[in-house]
Homo-oligomer: A and B are copies of this chain.
Amino acid sequence: MPEFLQLLPPEAARTLLFSNLPDPKIKYEKIETASSLGRVIAEDIFAPHSLPEFLRSTVDGYAVRARDTFGASDSMPAYLTLVDEIPMGSAPSQRIDSGQCGLIHTGGMLPPGADAVVMLENTQVVLGGDQPIPGSEIEIFRAVADGENVIQIGEDVKSGSVILKGGSRIRPAEVGGLMALGITQLSVAVKPKVGLISSGDEIIDPFKQTQPGQVRDINAYTLASLVTKTGGEPILYGIVPDIRADLESTARRALNECDVVVITAGSSASTRDMTADVIASLGAPGVLVHGINTRPGKPTILGVCNGKAVIGLPGNPVSALVNGYLFVMPIIEKLLVETPRPRPVVAAKLTVNLPSQAGREDWIPVKLISQSGKAQTYHAEPIFGKSNLIFTLTSADGLLRIPPDVTGYGAGETAEVVLF
């Protein structure tokens, strides 16, 4: 197995792959902001106007000229005449002059002349009954500074400034920020098309009944779900028998129609070699990495053909999915020109010793057990089993990483677990 003589560490393998991929040309499409959750913004978005567009009160109280309150205290209140109650949702009709104030609600627009708001609890109506009505005299027990309890025009965002950068993934907060500015449509990156090919004479369509020696295709479906989750569009090319010409023609068609091609090889060495041969034949530079120092996933093949990534994943379903996370996911993110955010990682204390090999990166399915009493403290319990058992992954909460420069962890040590 000559391919395994030079096992690259996963990080170096990714770097080599990415350095052979051209800068992606983003394809845009315009969609409704209200249904843009999870999409990636194509280009910087600028504020069409300031937010807020007017001085807004942050409290219930009285809009005043701050200098009219200077020195006010419980023993020496200031006295102001109420001239108006400012209605919500429209411009105040009356100006506040010296010695005057206006009743204002949280979120209301400051009247011209006013520059601060005194909170209701620091005031009292002294003339004109209990309820403040125009003409009431208002006692002010506390001084306010210019701008106090007020959101300035443009304090949230200034007209013309960049509000969201190209490459940002839309979360609920981004949807809200866009709607706040009346940006009801936006340009997002078109979902990269990821062609998925399953190969292996033993693999059959999951909708069919198995015969002795046959297993149903798992990889096309786990990888399609991973692609969807990452923001790509999976395109299934079905199952190709272990015949080189068939695999090559299907792969060539996928390469033509998609932005990325992923072949899950049959599990034997000969079919893996065939996958490498096919990738080499599809275009330059062809196979870049054949064998990665990671477990599971050693037989992973990384290639670039005519400017597109072509990945050969091991047939074993756990290996294929874990290496989908390690290699296919970052390729999709690169094609989306996404600015990465921190990955969801939980620190957890190991319950047992986990040996590893120096230089190799291990990914071990673990169950996370919440420790009672202490929020967000977890124990990580490895799920043992041969690495080709898909149900070891369904019982796991995440994958514990043993980095290449660590020769394993002892029970009680804390390691990082990536939620998947």
Contacts and interface: CB of A to CB of B under 8 A. Distances in A.
Nearest to A168: B394
Given A228-B37, A391-B156, A91 B212 contact: yes
| Most B-side CB within 10 Å, residue of A52, A346, A391 | A391
A344 B346 contact: yes
A403 B373 CA distance: 13
B347 A375 contact: no
Contact of A184 (B207, B370, B416): B207
B346 A173 contact: no
B106 A269 contact: yes
Contact of A51 (B204, B213, B391): B391
Given A89-B202, A212-B54, A222-B172, A268 B229 contact: no
A136 to B, nearest CB: 17
A372 to B, nearest CB: 14
B321 A173 contact: yes
Copies in the complex: 2
Contact of A321 (B89, B176, B370): B176
Contacts of A218: 176-177, 179-180
Contact of A180 (B317, B347, B416): B317
A43 interface: no
A145 interface: no
A46 interface: no
Interface in A79-96: 87-92
B176 A242 contact: no
B163 A391 contact: yes
Interface string A90-108: 1110000000000001111
A260 B396 CA distance: 31
A67 interface: no
13 contacts: A37-B225, A88-B200, A88-B242, A90-B212, A107-B266, A157-B391, A176-B218, A176-B221, A180-B215, A182-B210, A182-B216, A342-B419, A375-B403
A157 B179 CA distance: 49
A392 to B, nearest CB: 8
A88 B173 contact: no
Nearest to A216: B180
Contacts of A378: 342
Nearest to A120: B269
A108 B202 contact: yes
A248 interface: no
A174 interface: yes
A213 B88 contact: yes
A188 interface: no
A172 B223 contact: yes
A163 B389 CA distance: 12
Given A212-B53, A386-B151, A388-B58, A174 B221 contact: no
Given A268-B60, A344-B346, A34 B180 contact: no
A376 interface: yes
A345 interface: yes
Contacts of A209: 182
A301 to B, nearest CB: 16
Contacts of A221: 33-34, 172, 175-176, 179
A175 B345 contact: no
A7 interface: no
Interface string A3-47: 000000000000000000000000000000110010000000000
